[in-house]
Structures are given as structure tokens and as C-alpha cells.
Amino acid sequence: MGQKLLMKGNEVIAEAAVRAGCRHYFGYPITPQTEIAHYMAKRMPEVGGVFVQAESEVAAINMVYGAASAGVRVMTSSSSPGISLKQEGISYSACAELPAVIVNIVRCGPGLGGILPAQCDYFQAVKGGGHGDYKMVVLAPSSVQELYEMTVEAFNIADKYRTLVMVMGDGILGQMMEAVEFKDKENIVAVDKSWAVTGTGMKRENNVITSIYIKPEVMEAHNNKLQAKYKLIEQNETKVEVYNCDNADVIVTAFGTVGRIVKNVIKTAEKEGIKVGLIRPITLWPFPVHAFEKYAQTPKAFLSVELNAGQMVEDVRLAVNGRRPVHFHGRTGGMIVTQQEILDKIKEIIK
């Protein structure tokens, strides 16, 4: 059994990255994720790593681009407005097929918004916040324990597919303290990085990392290559938690912290004779369409509960594909959905 500690979500992300072999962190302060930078500033020197406080989120993501090009495990973290600034580097990294981990501890928006929790960056994360046809794997942990495990896994997925992986939590998850049990040894999957720019040593042809393909045939071929990779990721990496869905009257769908609120609603509803199921996408991209297909005809209706004005619900509707009604309940601005609100909505649906 590993070490069990009481830790803040943001610090767990940072420690998980270190345990995953990440020795390069580039970031810029923004609430509510700055504890990641605080932790890295102390921890990286202890493990012979590099912490750089960049002059902007734009610079930070481009430092990530450089370090990933050089073949090391690298991470940056930010919160919503900062993630918007990183979109340039995200698109370029996706095209150049650079493996890196990006953490977004989401706060409410749009604009500077507020510093309270939200899930309003779902579209930006899964539909491509930057330009061009690209995808990145988006992991949505719901507890501090999952923050740890998924951050480690994020580095493995990034390396395996030469892709960006985003760990997307919200301000609740980043700021709350919970018990976390660390493993004695992490599963670090080593991959060949002979594509990286580390110097030719005059022993090989030079390596080039680029995202520009001026010839249309070449650019299209590169796009096809990227799309084939995304298909493979869809096949191999889709993750979902399906809970209490057999014979459910209503299946609620929620990701991250909201999934935990729904689990409490399931207990309360059961006492009132209503069977509620939960489909909690763990990978927001790739989206677990198969879970919705399996249960598409089980409940009377689906209900998507989110801390936004209705984003994931669009993917739920595509997956359910008209077979059942899909309802939505959400709060914005840093307001959190309550168990009572969800229960009332469920009752309204099955009435």
C-alpha cells in the first residue's frame, strides 16, 4: 500500500506530474490553479527539474512546445482565460504532434468572468479551441484521487500517441483537500522519441519539428495522418463510468465534480422510488458514445447536468440520436447545482 496523504487538488496534480517523470513545468499565475506553480517552484529543484514562470500563457505554451520538441515530459497549467491564450500553441503542438500535458482548472466565464468553479470550457476543450482540424485527449477527473491517477496517465497517453492531453478539472477540484493514496511506483510507459530535436551528434539526418506544410497534397496527407491517429485514440482510450443504469427511469449524465453530486441524488431518489442512473464521461474527448448507445432505450429520458449553459448536452444528444428526449440543467457564473435542483428536475421529467 502506498502513502496516503491529505492534499489539495492543485498540489496533487503537481506531485502526480513529478511522479510521472515530468521535470519541466512552464506556467503563468492565474486563480484558481496557481498552487500548481507554487508546488512546482519548490518541488522541481528537489528532483533536478526545471520550473519557469513565463511572461505570459502564450510564452508558457511555446516553452512547452520547445521542451516537448526536445523530447522531455513537460506540463503547463492554467485556468480558463489563460487557456484561451494558449490556444495558438495548442493548435501548433497538435499539428507538430508534440506530446505534452495541459491542465485547465476551469473558472466561470466568458471574459475575465470570475474565479469560481465552472465547466464552461467543455466546447473549447473538446471541439478545438484553436484553429484547424485537431483533437486533444481531455480527461475529466471527479476527485483528488482521480486527479492524481489521471495526471500520471495523461503523460503516458501523450507520449504513446504524440498528442496533447488536457486534464480538465474545475475550481472545486483544484481547491479542495481530500485524501489521496499514492502508489509506491508509477506506471511510466517509455516510448521511443528518436524524432526529438536533441542534436544530430553528426550521426543521423537532422530532425525537424514543424507545423507548416505549404504544399496542399502534403498538408492533406498530414491531416489524414492526424485523423487516423485520433481514430485510434477513440478506439483505445475512451473511458466512462456507468453507474446504476440498468432499468433506470432517468439517466443523468455529468462529468467531473458534478458526477459526485449526482451520485448523492441517486441515493435520495431511490428512497422516493425513482431509479436514477449516471453516465459519467471520464474522457470528454474521445466521448464515450458507446455507453449512450448501450443505454439509449433504457430510461424514459436523459438529463445532462453541467456547470455551464449547456455544452456536453450537445454530444449527449448526438449519441442518443433522438431515441429518447435529452434534457438539460445547468448553473453558471460560479453557482453550483444543488442535489435538490437535480432531483426536482428529474421529477419534472418523469411526471
Partner 1 sequence: MATVFKKPHALKDLSMHYCPGCTHGIIHRLVAEVIDELGIEGKTIGVSPVGCSYNNYEYFNCDMVQAAHGRAPAVGTGVKRANPDNYVFTYQGDGDLAAIGTAEIVHAATRGEKITTIFVNNAIYGMTSGQLAPTTLLNQVTTTSPFGRKPEVHGFPIKVSEMISTLEGAVYVERVSVHDIKNIINAKKAIKKAFKVQMANKGFSMVEVLSTCPTNWGMNPTEALRWLQDNMIPFYPLGNFKGKDLEV
Under the rule (CB under 8 A), what is the footprint of partner 1? 24, 26, 50, 52, 54-56, 58-60, 62-72, 74, 88-89, 92, 96, 197-203, 206-212, 214
Closer by beta carbon to partner 1, 111 or else 201:
201
Least distance to partner 1, CB of residue 126, Å: 23
CA 211 to chain centre: 23
Closer by beta carbon to partner 1, 70 or else 115:
70
Q: What gap in Å lies between CA 346 and CA 214, rounded to an integer?
A: 53
Least distance to partner 1, CB of residue 63, Å: 4
Closer by beta carbon to partner 1, 100 or else 252:
100
Least distance to partner 1, CB of residue 324, Å: 45
Q: Any idea of the CA torsion for 219, 221, 227, 232, to the nearest 10 degrees?
A: -140
Least distance to partner 1, CB of residue 221, Å: 18
Buried b (16+ CB within 10 A) or exposed e, 134-157: bbbbbbbbbbbbbbbbbbbbbbbb
Asked whether 136 and 125 are in contact (CB, 8 A), the reply is yes
Decide: residue 272, CB within 10 A, 0-12 exposed, 13-18 middle, 19+ buried.
exposed
Closer by beta carbon to partner 1, 6 or else 212:
212
Q: What gap in Å lies between CA 183 and CA 226, rounded to an integer?
A: 34
Least distance to partner 1, CB of residue 67, Å: 4
Closer by beta carbon to partner 1, 36 or else 68:
68
Closest CA to 150 of 163, 162, 137: 137
